[in-house]
Structure 1
């Protein structure tokens, strides 16, 4: 005999779909998909001008001694995290595993307590190296990794979680995020019955995950579509830099919504992905990273592939003082022309930064096939 649970689930899903449509309607993105780019162009000025350009939202900081890396609250979680996060992708790129381990441990010794990773980074090598580096230090680390189903179901997600736990040599993940929400239909796939969102719930109930979130680098409207389901995400990760502020801007369109909801904000791609604007001499590391860290974010993820880069970024983060509102507006104006065509944010305008698992699940050729 039916127990009514399927009917209740369908009613709840219908209610959530209604709320999602109302939220998107309010923002002007109902039917987001092919119309996303047009909506961004039509509404960007309205959202940018909704806040005085010379007003910088307050960053809630935790008092520390001079010269230490500031700590900030991760949204409503109650957790205090370092303003700088060690990125997980680059930590698997060193030829010598011991160098990777040394970078991770030196970062922790210097005051970084937030460590990023993902199931798919370097085919699992990044998680394995981080797991070895954190042995005997796990209780001092806030450890994040990401689930990379890219539209596959809850079972695949839970299998990936078990693999991540083994690689990271831990029994819990502090923050488990849905990775790379960059395709227009990703939100529907993730929230579908039996999808990855159900895995987030299962993992939390099992005590294997403390907090959950999602990431993406493609389009602010896709982030807003994820948020329109009103799921209680603890954190959201997105590109935030001096070019983003005037081009398909996560800062102008998504950041205010996260702040309003008390969701922890994790900034990434502060140097444009692979540092292209730094290599071109357009902006310095100091100015780019300072701008990103001055936004009302909980932390900024930094890709660090050498001890030299680690030291460079630590020098910026130690005793960090945010830019004031006038300084930040001057930076936005200074780089607006460079940002206009997206050349320094190719993760928004091309598939250059889209990962192989996501490409495969959505039927796109692998990078190697595209580049040769």
Structure 2
């Protein structure tokens, strides 16, 4: 933002929003396509060994005001409640048209989805632009999150991205700002180095531009645990949680308990394993996959929703949601374990196909377009 821009905005509605934000602490009580996988015949699937009992979402406070509503859950220790299902910003940018994208967001809000996911880099910024247009006049009805995408660059880059995100989202503060895609082994060191993105995170909170902060990633539980070892007071952490993750390089078993022990709100993602291929191959249903993820002790499960049909399907699952019991969850782990073992349905863990181009470039890897087919 130039000095002239800043001066012109002194009395803008956005600055008015920021002043209101500083007064309120309780706002909102509340792809890449895979190659066709040919599943090898398996004569006798081997059941997964029973895992230590995983607490259910029902073990944390979960409220619904009236029949037919989407339950809300506490966002860790923040004192804020959010909807048990969230709207994924990446897929909003993949809607068939701007009109449908806006309708998806607005219908989701009207139906009771409060948690809005996004990232600075999604769809070359289009996802933030679409969500900003859709939330005009509805900003105070949602818990708005986006992600900073420095991928190792310094704090000044992060602050510039924040201003760009705020402008595209048509707001002057974020409810949550998360460090995006912590997926390389040296990312924690780059994040916490002098003048790294963590300094921007702290500055943004001091300036009232963000309320809460967190980080995301999908590659390896060990990287998440390395981030947590710095003992930074993160409010949230986003991680992949699904029926296959339960028995393969498992965030559910290694990271989720530590988050809940620390009071850091877990935000689930990739409930359909990133691209829904397991659903298409008939291994499990959408109801089973999303129901399993939402039954874990998470604050919300971010769902990729590229169309109104998918939105309405997921709303039907989320309304009046009741967590699965331990026996049902173990049965799904057993059914999926044999397919989980080779990582075929979690390529975001076992390959770089799901790693964003900006992060690839910052780490010296070519963008996807330059990779020979």
Task: Report the TM-score range of the alignment, normalised by the length of the smaller protein.
Answer: 0.7 to 0.9
TM-score, scaled relative to structure 2: 0.85
User: Matched residue of 1:61: which SS?
Assistant: coil
Aligned position for 2:34: none
CA distance in 2, matches of 1:63, 1:268: 22
CA distance in 1, matches of 2:83, 2:226: 29
Aligned position for 2:24: none
Shift of 1:52: 3.4
Aligned position for 2:12: none
CA distance in 1, matches of 2:171, 2:54: 45
Shift of 1:298: 0.3
Aligned position for 1:331: 332
CA distance in 2, matches of 1:371, 1:245: 33
CA distance in 1, matches of 2:263, 2:285: 32
Shift of 1:330: 1.3
Aligned position for 1:308: 309
Gapped regions of structure 1 (runs ≥ 5): 1-47
Aligned position for 1:211: 212
CA distance in 2, matches of 1:114, 1:192: 31
Q: Which runs of 4+ in 1 moved over 2 A?
A: 51-57
Aligned position for 1:125: 126
Whether the 8 Å CA contact 2:221–2:251 is kept in 1: the answer is: yes
Shift of 1:316: 0.2
User: CA 1:81–1:56 in structure 2 vs 1: closer, same or farther (change >3 Å)?
Assistant: closer
Aligned position for 2:43: none
Aligned position for 2:341: 340
Aligned position for 2:159: 158
1:173 aligns with 2:174: yes
Aligned position for 1:259: 260
1:84 aligns with 2:91: no
Aligned position for 1:291: 292
CA distance in 1, matches of 2:332, 2:365: 37
CA distance in 2, matches of 1:348, 1:116: 21
CA distance in 1, matches of 2:178, 2:52: 32
Aligned position for 2:278: 277
Gapped regions of structure 2 (runs ≥ 5): 1-48
User: Matched residue of 1:89: which SS?
Assistant: helix
Whether the 8 Å CA contact 2:64–2:70 is kept in 1: the answer is: no
Aligned position for 1:200: 201
TM-score, scaled relative to structure 1: 0.85
Shift of 1:63: 3.7
